Structures are given as C-alpha cells and as structure tokens.
C-alpha cells in the first residue's frame, strides 16, 4: 500500500561546496510522479539559508501534491556572479537526474524565489541558452536546467537603476551602487563601475521565445527593492512574450515580504498559477 505521509531528505549534496546542498520534501505517494517547485532563498546573495523560514510559502505545495526542493547556493562571500545562478541550474539538473529515485516529474518543474532568490530564478526563467550560464561542470550535463514557470517575489532585476528609482520615489535608501552594497558584493565589482556585469546579471537581457511563464508579485510599500523593478520587468516580458505568459500582482500595503505574501489567499493564488502552468498528466496510482 502506498504511504500517505510526506517524506523529507535533508542536506542532499549536488556539488562539492558545503553550500551546494538542498532539502527535498516529497508529497504522499498519491501524487507521483510529483511536480517540482525549486525554491531559492533571498538575503542579498550573501546571507540566508534553505531552512531559515523563507521557504514557508513554497512548502505549502507539499500538501497540494508538489515536491519542494529548497536550495542553498554559494553566497557572495564564497563566490561572486554568476556562481549562484550556475549552482541553482546544477541543482535543477541534479533533481532531474534523480527523478526516478525520488519519483519526480521531469517535465513539470517550476522555480520560486524571494528577493535575491527571485532574481536568481528570474535568470533561470529567461536565460536558458545564455553562454554565460552554460557551465555544466557540476554535473548532469545531459539534463535540462530549465523550468516551465517562475514565481518572482519582489526581486531586484536591473541593479544599475535601483538607486535612481529610489531617489525618484523616495521609497527607500539609494545605496545599492555603493562599494559595500549587497549588489556590489554579488557582482564582485562596484555596481556603478561595472555596467557590463549589471547587464549580464539582468534577466531582461535574455528575454526570448524560450522564456518560462512568470508570476511576479511585489508590495507597494517595499523599501528594500523598488517596486519599479517588478513593474518594468513585467512590461519587458509582456512586450516580447505571448499574451498570458506574464502576470504581475501589486500587493497593496505589503513591504518586502511577510504575511501578505504568505497568506492563505495569496498562496492559493500562487498555486492556482502553478496548477495551470504545470498541469499534471493523468497518472495511475501505485
């Protein structure tokens, strides 16, 4: 008889660094092969952890029949851009290579991230064929590292214009281009002095016909990442992708994360989006 209890596997290594690990949570056997949500935490690319609570919203997917993989990656103190993106792509390939063992649906992957994690998954969603992210030395080169859908929660996108946006709006502190900012540490160079890296790290740079479907959500009271980052990114995606492939929600009264995003109503909204774009094939129970 199949088990009805979810199972978890902690600290699975997908690479040699101590940072290159993931936690995998599987739904009951009634939902196999399971659709997969790959969650990527925020923390300015230099802090945060796969089990620090940021994954709470995504974890609601387990009871809904999703497998959820919460992924760690090399933080900026260990390795700078593009290492974090290469790590998450490697984690996705690892999960696909492990699909038989964990009973995952290789064709139904989504990526979800908040803040800096939202930036990483946005690059996963737009830059499938970009040469800068083509390094497969972490293994499983034969597996795709793409996803069908992306949940972007309040992510920085164009690091070079964040200060100007905050100066114009007065909504936050314009310190993103400073030498010691999280953004500069992530790039490995001061934002204002590295336009080529800013462009390379901008998901908008890679928008094309092979992009994933996007749901972008941002609070209108966010004082850490300008709301214009999400508005402009959604507009750029919509200008080049078919109708219905991009959705933007502005959460009234919401700041940089918190209850408005993790509320039951909003999680219903997010998973309705995923259910639509990761529609499950008819499957036999085992």
Angle at Cα 271 formed by Cα 22 and Cα 103, nearest 5°? 45
Q: How far apart are CA 247 and CA 273, in angstroms?
A: 9
Query: Model-level pTM?
Result: 0.95
**Is residue 176, in this structure, part of any structural domain at all?**
no
What CATH number is attached to the domain comprising 20?
Answer: 3.40.50.1820
With respect to residue 282, please indicate whether it lies within any of the assigned structural domains: no
Q: Tens-digit pLDDT profile for the chain (286 aa)? A: 334 456 999 999 999 999 999 999 999 988 889 999 999 999 999 999 999 999 999 999 999 999 999 999 999 999 999 999 999 999 999 999 999 999 999 999 999 999 999 999 999 999 999 999 999 999 999 999 999 999 999 999 999 999 999 999 999 999 999 999 999 999 999 999 999 999 999 999 999 999 999 999 999 999 999 999 999 999 999 999 999 999 999 999 999 999 999 999 999 999 999 999 998 655 444 3
Looking at the structure of the chain, the number of domains it has is: 1
For residue 111, is it within any domain? yes
Instruction: Determine, yes or no, domain membership for 180.
Output: no
CB 36 within 8 A of CB 69: yes
Confidence (pLDDT) at 29? 82
Q: Is residue 242 part of a domain?
A: yes
DSSP structure class, residue 46: T
Q: Angle CA(245)–CA(84)–CA(64) in degrees, nearest 5?
A: 50
Exposure of 161 in the CB half-sphere (CA atoms within 13 A): 16
pLDDT at 280 (0 to 100): 63
User: CA-CA distance, 110 to 6, in Å (whole number)?
Assistant: 19
The burial of 190, by beta-carbon neighbours within 10 Å (0-12 exposed, 13-18 middle, 19 or more buried), is given as middle
Query: Residue 32: what pLDDT?
Result: 87
Note whether residue 164 is domain-resident: no
Predicted local distance difference test score (pLDDT) of residue 31: 81
| Domain containing residue 67 | 7-158+204-277
Strand, coil or helix: 233: helix
In a domain, 68, yes or no: yes
Nearest to 187 by CA among 30, 82, 41, 39: 82
Q: Is residue 167 part of a domain?
A: no
The whole-number pLDDT of residue 255 equals 98
């Amino acid at each position: 008889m199949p088990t009805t209890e979810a199972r978890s596997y902690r600290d699975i290594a997908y690479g040699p660094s101590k940072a290159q690990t993931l936690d995998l949570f599987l739904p009951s056997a009634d939902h196999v092969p399971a659709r997969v949500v790959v969650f990527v935490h925020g923390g300015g690319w230099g802090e945060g952890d796969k089990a620090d609570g940021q994954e709470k919203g995504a974890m609601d997917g387990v009871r809904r029949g999703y497998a959820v993989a919460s992924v760690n990656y090399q933080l900026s103190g260990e390795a700078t851009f593009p290492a974090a993106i290469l790590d998450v792509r490697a984690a996705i390939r690892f999960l696909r290579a492990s699909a038989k063992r964990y009973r995952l649906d290789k064709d139904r992957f989504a990526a979800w991230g908040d803040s800096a994690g939202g930036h990483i998954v946005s690059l996963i969603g737009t830059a499938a064929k970009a040469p800068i992210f083509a390094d497969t030395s972490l293994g499983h080169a034969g597996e795709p590292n793409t996803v069908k859908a992306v949940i972007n929660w309040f992510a920085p996108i164009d690091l070079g214009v964040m200060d100007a946006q905050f100066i114009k709006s007065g909504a936050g502190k314009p310190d993103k281009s400073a030498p010691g900012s999280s953004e500069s540490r992530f790039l490995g160079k001061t934002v204002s002095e590295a336009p080529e890296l800013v462009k390379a790290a901008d998901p908008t740079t890679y928008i094309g016909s092979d992009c994933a479907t996007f749901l972008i959500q941002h609070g209108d009271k966010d004082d850490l990442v300008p709301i214009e980052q999400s508005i402009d990114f959604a507009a750029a995606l919509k200008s080049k992708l078919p109708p219905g492939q991009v959705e933007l929600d502005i959460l009234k009264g919401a700041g940089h994360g918190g209850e408005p995003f993790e509320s039951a109503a909003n999680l219903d909204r997010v998973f309705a989006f995923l259910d639509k774009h990761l529609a499950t094939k008819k499957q036999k129970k085992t």
